[in-house]
A and B are shown apart, each in its own frame.
Chain A
Amino acid sequence: MLEIQTPETIMFWILAPVSVLAALGMLLVKKAVHSALLLAWVMVTLAIFYIAQGALFLGIVQIVVYTGAVMMLFLFILMLVGVDASDSLTETISGLRPIAITAAVGFGGLFVSLIGRATIGHKPYGLEFANSNGNVEGLAKELFSTYVWPFEVISALLVTAALGAMVLAHHQRTIARPSQREQSIARFRTGSLAGAAGLPSPGVFARHNAVDVPALLPDGTAAPTSISATLKARGDMLESQSFELSEVDNTVTEEK
């Protein structure tokens, strides 16, 4: 019969609500990066739960594999796909959200009542006997005796997954890469000669020479092509009008 000590109870009642709240926040936040950070937090709390439940090896593996490798992979892909590609929270299928929430409440209720029914009168054992030689030693004994065949199969799965990722990432060109000369000819053959010399560089000369301000064309209008599309999508672009002579405070204060 298992007796749970007070420290674990306190740990549970602090971390369990926090992890559930973080998981809920994962659904509600708009940016994918924030979702990833909240998921990393949920995974760290789960690792603490594993260690508290006598699964020391799994707790370490959870931190190393999940919060280390898997979440890093997620963040890499987020950077690749574009951090600015934030999710629109509008429903595309009408009535999907109420149905999903109703189904979730039903499923959750069923799950909770099922656990409640299944555990009445059942006495938990605890891992003291199984972990008596150490958790890692016990796991190794099981893994390399009873579960050695699944272990081999799972190594084949890992190799297959690595190969599959390589096949998916492989990109075969259907047309040859255009050479610099061909690109230059194509630029000159377009309708106007405006783009032939390349795109304008950002910044208003002698006023604000940073990459977030569009350059001014000779007629005084801003050139939107001089700004990186990512900056524009993120809304980090400044108006070049705010750096005009009449707008800028150019009174010289004298130091005493």
Chain B
Amino acid sequence: MSPYNYLYVAGLLFTIGAVGVVVRRNAIVVFMCIELMLNAANLTLVTFSRINGTLDGQIVAFFTMVVAACEVVVGLAIIVAIYRSRRSASIDDASLLKR
């Protein structure tokens, strides 16, 4: 087996996450799908780090994890704020700007 197989898995996971963002309606599930996409990107970074024999990919993956943690904190705070004002966690209900 070659380490490139990890890249195929990461590609599949990223695609599944992207579909989830488009298809699911619950804001929290959409957010989890974004996390899945970030994780898939991390897997590619770690695999490329191994393929190229340097540790730079792992450093960037580490930074991605920190950014993802920040994103979760702020994003979930936004979801809770929206839920408090509209009593709904569905992304279809937050369409005030449309009308």
Contact = CB atoms under 8 A, between A and B. Distances in A.
A78 B27 CA distance: 10
A94 interface: no
Interface in B1-52: 1-9, 11-20, 22-26, 28-29, 31-33, 35-36, 39, 42-43, 46-47, 49-52
Chain A: interface residue count, which band?
Answer: 35 or more
Contact of A87 (B24, B61, B68, B79): B24
Contact of A32 (B26, B63, B72): B26
Contacts of B23: 27, 96-97, 100
B15 A104 contact: yes
A112 B11 contact: yes
B4 A124 contact: yes
Given A87-B24, A125-B53, A73 B73 contact: yes
A53 B69 contact: no
Contacts of B33: 26-27
Chain B: interface residue count, which band?
Answer: 35 or more
A165 B33 CA distance: 21
A222 interface: no
A24 B39 CA distance: 15
A24 B79 CA distance: 24
Interface string B49-61: 1111111101101
Contacts of B94: none
A81 B79 contact: yes
Contacts of A77: 28, 76, 79-80
A129 B5 contact: no
Contacts of B61: 55, 58
Contacts of A107: 15, 18
Contact of B59 (A2, A97, A147): A147
Contact of A46 (B14, B43, B56, B76): B43
Contacts of B1: 4, 8-9, 12-13
B3 A124 contact: yes
A203 interface: no
B99 interface: no
Interface string A2-24: 10100011001100100110011
Closest 4 CB pairs of A and B: A125-B53, A161-B70, A168-B77, A111-B11
5 contacts: A2-B2, A66-B65, A66-B68, A119-B4, A168-B78
Interface of A: 2, 4, 8-9, 12-13, 16, 19-20, 23-24, 26-27, 32, 35-36, 39, 42-43, 46, 49-50, 53-55, 57-58, 61-62, 65-66, 69-70, 73-74, 77-78, 80-82, 85-88, 92, 96-97, 100-101, 103-104, 107-108, 111-112, 115, 119, 122, 124-127, 129-131, 135, 138-139, 142-143, 146-147, 150, 154, 157-158, 160-162, 164-165, 168-169, 171
